[in-house]
Amino acid sequence: MTDPAALWVNGRPYSTELPDDERLLDTLRWRLGLKGTKEGCRTGDCGACTVLVDGRSVLSCLTLTREVSEEAILTVEGLEADPVGRTVLEAFVQEAGLQCGYCTPGFVVALTGLLKERPNASPEELLEDLQGNLCRCTGYLSIRRAVVGLAKART
Amino acid sequence: MTFTLLAPATGEEAVAALLAAGPGELAVLAGGTDLLPDIDEGRTAPRRVLSLRRLPWRELNWTSTELEVGALVPLASLERNAELRRRMPGLFEAVGAVGGLALRHRATLGGNLVRASPVSDLIPILLALEARVGLYGAQGERELPLEEFLQSPRRTSLAPGELLRRVRIPARPCAFRWQRVRPANDISQLAVAVAYDPLGGDWRVATAGVAPLARRAPGAEAALHGVAPSDAEIRACADVAAHEAPVRADRRATDPYRRLLLRALVARAVRAVRDRPLESSS
């Protein structure tokens, strides 16, 4: 019952067995070995599992892999090779925008998606659209600095 | 594997699959952001899931008097629509109140209404705007008011073999106000939607977080008259809303707190519509 599927993740093709009911989060972590994407709540409340599908942020815990298997998927592992993703990573490094780091992949992927969609978004708009990402360490101040610095550098 | 997935290419095929399924055997998947948690937590256990992803039901059409939204339009597409923000700020705010942006990239307007969640932020504003829904079935499409479509929490008047096809939303001045613990990815303790119908000169007030399902507040509506109700009228309207509501207490808020919220948010929402910039009344 697990038919093979072809996926396109971080600019390269993968071939894997894929049960119909499998979540994108589980496919990425356990079939493709891309464990940068984190499982936080698994109920759509925390944003830790955020990946980009066709350039738009989605919660991989609430997405069936089969529903998006024909689209380009970008995970935190692919950010360094992505021009926008790279600037986001640099901004987070610059401001040490993390504490334990568990929420970081979700934040940097979500922010990369936002900047791709709205390259000239203001810091306030970016912060508002990042409200779906939670940091259980409450390390928001350094994350905020990274986001604001990035937005200012781009405009 | 807990279920198998079907993804029909046409509405006809989707309806045929629905009609062929036994009770409880098949669940319909749009964005999945509400269905999949239900499956995870055992609240529903379909053997097959019917994905609508291949259906082209993603229109977003404006006319001079209304907005037509295909059932499969993701909520994020609505909030990125500049005309929506300008012409119907209340609907824009309500869309942005659902989950976080990553959830709204998947969650659809149709899914939100069909799931008829007691905590939906979209149902109150669409009730206030007197939205109508188009239902697609083997006999074609029929249209009915959203208020008739919603029967009780998690129950709609979709007949067997029917799918929500589109939502028609009159373009009217409106406002949406909510209170909750966290701004995103949280459930409103209370939400208030207000809309004004310039043709009839009527106000519509709807609330969520009060009764088991969002509902209109007829007493509060009747307290408002004309395009620019006075502050005294607005206070009276808010008082009626707070008194007439069958408020319930739950883990999110107590009854007295909800009544305080209701009074404050109804007044703020009505004032927001009354004092709107002229542009948004066009």
Cα radius of gyration (chain A)? 15
Q: Which two tokens stand for residue B236?
A: 């009276």
CATH 3.30.43 in chain B, residue ranges: 4-51
What integer pLDDT is reported at residue B281 of this predicted model?
A: 45
**Which residues neighbour A74 within 8 Å (Cβ) at sequence distance 6 or greater?**
A9, A10, A51, A52, A55, A82, A85, A109, A112
| A-B contacts (CB, under 8 Å) | 85
ipTM of model: 0.96
Instruction: Look at the block and give the residue holding tokens 């692919």.
Output: A78
CB A36 within 8 Å of CB A68: no
* Distance, CA of B97 to CA of B178 (rounded, Å): 8
Q: Has domain A3-78 been given CATH number 3.30.110.40?
A: no
Q: For tokens 């629905």, name the residue.
A: B18
Burial of A144 from C-beta contacts in 10 A (0-12 / 13-18 / 19+): middle
How do the domains of chain A map onto residue ranges?
3-78, 83-154
Nearest-neighbour CA in chain A from B40: distance (Å): 9
Pairs from A135-142 (Cβ < 8 Å, separation ≥ 24):
A135/A99, A135/A103, A135/A107, A136/A100, A136/A102, A136/A103, A137/A99, A137/A100, A137/A103, A139/A97, A139/A98, A139/A99, A139/A100, A142/A95, A142/A96, A142/A97, A142/A98, A142/A99
| CATH code assigned to B4-51 | 3.30.43
Instruction: Give yes or no for a contact between B74 and B108, defined as CB atoms under 8 angstroms apart.
Output: yes
Q: Are residues A20 and B1, on separate chains, in Cβ contact within 8 Å?
A: yes
The confidence score (pLDDT) of residue B121 equals 93
Predicted local distance difference test score (pLDDT) of residue B253: 86
Q: What does the radius of gyration of chain B's CA atoms come to, in whole angstroms?
A: 19
Averaged pLDDT score across all residues of chain B = 94
Q: Which amino acid is at B32?
A: G
Comma-separated ranges of CATH 3.30.390.50 domains in chain B: 174-276
Measured in angstroms, the CA of A112 and the nearest CA of chain B are apart by 12
Query: Does the domain spanning B60-170 belong to CATH 3.30.465.10?
Result: yes
Q: pLDDT class for A152, splitting at 50, 70, 90?
A: confident
- Residue B148 token pair: 């008739």
Residue B10 sits at the chain A interface (C-beta within 8 Å): no
If we measure between CA atoms, which residue out of B141, B167, B157 comes closest to residue B12?
Answer: B141
Chain CA centroid to CA B37, Å: 20
Q: Counting runs of H as helices and runs of E as strands, what totals does chain A give?
A: 6, 5
Q: Which of residues 55-74 of A touch B (CB under 8 A)?
A: 56-59, 62-64, 66-67
**Predicted pLDDT of residue A32:** 97
Print burial letters for A90-100: b (CB count within 10 Å at least 16), e (below 16): ebbeebebbbe
Which residue in chain A has the smallest CA separation from B102?
A: A58
Three-class secondary structure of residue A20 per DSSP: coil
Task: Say what the pLDDT of residue B210 is.
Answer: 76
> Distance (Å, rounded) from C-alpha B71 to C-alpha B37?
21
Q: Which CATH number applies to B174-276: 3.90.1150.10, 3.30.390.50, 1.20.59.20, 3.40.605.10?
A: 3.30.390.50
Tell me, what's the pLDDT at B279? Answer: 58
With CB atoms and an 8 Å threshold, state whether B101 touches A114. yes
Entry field: residues in chain B? 282
Contacts of A19 (CB under 8 A, 6+ apart): A1, A2, B1
Q: How would you label B154-170 residue by residue, b for 16+ Cβ within 10 Å and e otherwise?
A: eebebeebbbbbbbbbb
A43-101, pLDDT tens digit by residue? Answer: 999 999 999 999 999 999 999 999 999 999 999 999 999 999 999 999 999 999 999 99
Q: Is B151 on the interface with A (CB under 8 A)?
A: no
* CA distances to A121, A127, B101, B211 from A57, in Å: 16, 15, 7, 34
Q: Which two tokens stand for residue A123?
A: 């810091």
Phi, psi angles (nearest 5°) of residue A56:
-110, 140
B44 touches chain A (CB under 8 A): no
Tokens of A78: 């692919």
Strands (E), chain B: 4-6, 26-29, 48-51, 60-62, 66-70, 132-137, 140-145, 150-152, 155-156, 163-170, 174-179, 190-197, 202-208, 215-216
CATH architecture of A83-154: Orthogonal Bundle (1.10)
What is residue B244's predicted lDDT score, i.e. its pLDDT? 86
Q: In chain B, which residues have pLDDT < 70?
A: 279-282
Share of chain B above pLDDT 90, in %: 83
Q: Do B102 and A19 touch (CB under 8 A)?
A: no
